[in-house]
Structure 1
Amino acid sequence: MKRHETFQELTACQYGGFSYDCRTRVHPEPAFAPIVLVAGAFQHKDGWGRLEQALAETTTVVTVDLPGWGGADLLPAGYDLAFLARALDHVLDAAGHHEVHVFGGSYGGAVAFRFAQLYPERVLSLALMGTAARITEPMRSRLLHTVALLRAGRYAEFAQYSTRLLTCQDQSAPVARAAAVRRILHAVFAGITQDHAQKYIEHTLRLLRQDLHAPDPLMDVPVLLGTGEHDDFTTPAECRSVAGHCTDARFTLLRHADHAVHLEVPDQLADLLLRFFTDQPLDGLEYCHPVQYYGTVPTINLAGGTGMLISS
């Protein structure tokens, strides 16, 4: 693949009294519309690594630190996902990105989903990885335990517990780069500052106070759902159930991965995203499970009238 020299633009702005920004990695000859990456609770706009690099070889890539992320202002838990979606809309306008493809990972998937619900006219397609449809037990109790550990200042225990929470504990599971990813996650959690600990607490309480995906309107843009085949944090079944909120969804599992797919199989994830965003076939890819399709298709029944066919 021909390599292009990219350059970066930083767009700082405010929304609702909160300061935050986005970074645009500009491709000089983009093959298609920009890709926006919306990060999980512990990520920041400069932390996408190999996944961002692989995507940036083809088109412009935008990464964001919304209120509550990275170096942005702390966002109290009382501000909901719709507020974050509106903040994303505001910064993309400021950066001059009008129609985009959106990828959300984990927590970022809930923000990306709400953004696409509120602004479907600017979302060409939406991909979510490791994003559950709702917070249920035992995840709720586990997340509350992480909050309790941080509030008690038990950072070492928090790091150990959170690393185990986000990684598959089945030692026989063939997860790519498993040991390295555990070290990376543990280092991130162990090095948490008081500022980022408070941001994580507010993030978590926000999730626990509301549904991850508002039931209306139905998601009417093309959606790709998935996670790692060994993800036992946001399980495959929980991620698949997001399809119930969509009119045009497809679901797959990445092989040799658990929750941290962008760290474990970044090249495979990038290939899958690029294929989806450019409307290429997703069937028969060796690095993921067979794709399942979900949607509502109008049909005519013999008695007259119309019905809806759910296909998978």
Structure 2
Amino acid sequence: MPEETVRTLSVYGLRYGYRRLQRTAPRTEPVVILGGALQGMFGWPQMDNHVGAVADVVTADLPGMGGADALPAVPSAGIMRSALTRIIDDLGVEKVNLFGYSYGTSIALQCAQRNPGRVARLILGGVPSHVDDSQRSHWRRVEDRLKAGDLEGAATLAAEGLMCLDPDRTVHRRELALRYVRRSLLHALCHSPHAADSLCRVLGDPPDFSGGLAGVPTLVFAGEHDTVSSPAQQREFAATIEGSRFLTITESDHWVVLERPDDVADLVARFVTDRPLETAPGLAALPRPRRAEHGATAPGLAPKY
């Protein structure tokens, strides 16, 4: 049986922690998982099952997430990078595999950009690389509901803003996922002192996806109906990473990790053990992105928002 340990760390005076599910004989470097702003260290059971069969699984409550301390009202990128680097150091390993989903993609990317020698492989899913004016207006309405004390209304709006509700597009377990996301957001808003700030970080402290990357094997994947940033936009982002792969997972949206959890976990396990991806379940492959110059930005990419 894998051994589970939970460690508490601090960075810039902020308390946070991580969980490590440690195998006796792993086949690859530990897989460090960074989720969305409200996803904590105990929210990845599918990774324990699939990825835990081949590697140590490391999940975290970074500052501003889960049970960690809240982030101060300043740009958070440096704090989050330092917190992640501290985890890698504390693991006592030379390299890790980094998996970032949604908000966690920018943290993982920036860590790889600044410390490429510490990252064996990089997996980024549901990358919010493009957010337009209509989406910003939607999140301002969420913020207005929060300020008015309407937590149920804010949770409903937030859930709808993160999911594809178009009935002409097939999303696996859409209604179940929508109810689960709304309920989870409402629970977080009622019980977490910094959940509201985390939800609205897209307005006040947006992540940065500029700068490109070279020298780190990278996989980028998206749900085929992601409405936060479309698969085409995420493919543009993938093209800024030298030699990256880009794939879509069918019948899913931005919440692909909830709607197709086993397919996502299987894909991650294959990539970190250098197994073929073409036969992974649920995939609809797109053409390989063009090779990017180091630091190049694909035409039309809006790396900041």
What's the secondary structure of 1:73's corresponding residue? coil
- Which of 197, 201, 211 is equivalent to 1:201? 197
Find out whether 1:165 has 2:161 as its counterpart.
yes
- Which of 71, 85, 91 is equivalent to 2:87? 91
Q: Contact between 2:263 and 2:280, CA under 8 Å: does it hold in 1?
A: no
What's the secondary structure of 2:124's corresponding residue? strand
What's the secondary structure of 2:170's corresponding residue? coil
Q: Contact between 2:243 and 2:292, CA under 8 Å: does it hold in 1?
A: no
Shift in CA distance, 46/227, structure 1 to aligned 2, threshold 3 Å: same
Aligned counterparts, 1:287-306, within 5 A: 287-296=282-291
The Cα shift of 1:183 comes to 1.8
Matched with 2:233 is 238
Find out whether 1:283 has 2:265 as its counterpart.
no
Query: Per-residue displacement from partner, 1:110-134 (whole Å, max 9, x unpaired)?
Result: 1111111111111111111111224
Matched with 1:67 is 63
Instruction: State the superposition RMSD in angstroms.
Output: 2.2
Q: Following the alignment from structure 1 to structure 2, what is the Cα–Cα distance between the partners of residues 56 and 191?
A: 28
Q: Give the total of aligned pairs.
A: 294
The Cα shift of 1:15 comes to 0.7
Shift in CA distance, 65/234, structure 1 to aligned 2, threshold 3 Å: same
What's the secondary structure of 1:294's corresponding residue? coil
Aligned counterparts, 1:254-273, within 5 A: 254-273=249-268
Identity %: 30
Aligned counterparts, 1:156-235, within 5 A: 156-193=152-189, 196=192, 198-202=194-198, 204-205=200-201, 208-215=204-211, 218-235=213-230
Q: Contact between 2:113 and 2:213, CA under 8 Å: does it hold in 1?
A: yes
Shift in CA distance, 64/287, structure 1 to aligned 2, threshold 3 Å: same
Q: Contact between 1:167 and 1:259, CA under 8 Å: does it hold in 2?
A: yes
The Cα shift of 1:11 comes to 1.3
Q: Contact between 1:250 and 1:291, CA under 8 Å: does it hold in 2?
A: no
- Which of 143, 149, 160 is equivalent to 2:145? 149
The Cα shift of 1:282 comes to 2.1
What's the secondary structure of 1:253's corresponding residue? strand
Query: Per-residue displacement from partner, 1:87-118 (whole Å, max 9, x unpaired)?
Result: 10012212324311111110011111111111
Structure scoring higher RCO (CA < 8 A, sep ≥ 6) equals 2
- Which of 30, 33, 39 is equivalent to 2:29? 33
The Cα shift of 1:192 comes to 2.7
Query: For structure 1, which runs of at least 5 residues remain unmatched after alignment?
Result: 299-309
Query: For structure 2, which runs of at least 5 residues remain unmatched after alignment?
Result: 294-298, 300-305
Q: Following the alignment from structure 1 to structure 2, what is the Cα–Cα distance between the partners of residues 255 and 218?
A: 27
- Greater mean deviation of Cα atoms: 200-209 or 99-108: 200-209
TM-score (norm 2): 0.88
- Greater percentage in strand: 1
Query: Per-residue displacement from partner, 1:155-214 (whole Å, max 9, x unpaired)?
Result: 111121122112211224332222221121111122234563634425633664455213
Q: Following the alignment from structure 1 to structure 2, what is the Cα–Cα distance between the partners of residues 70 and 8?
A: 18
Q: Contact between 2:51 and 2:57, CA under 8 Å: does it hold in 1?
A: yes
- Specify the code of the residue in structure 1 equivalent to 2:220: L
Q: Following the alignment from structure 1 to structure 2, what is the Cα–Cα distance between the partners of residues 276 and 292?
A: 18
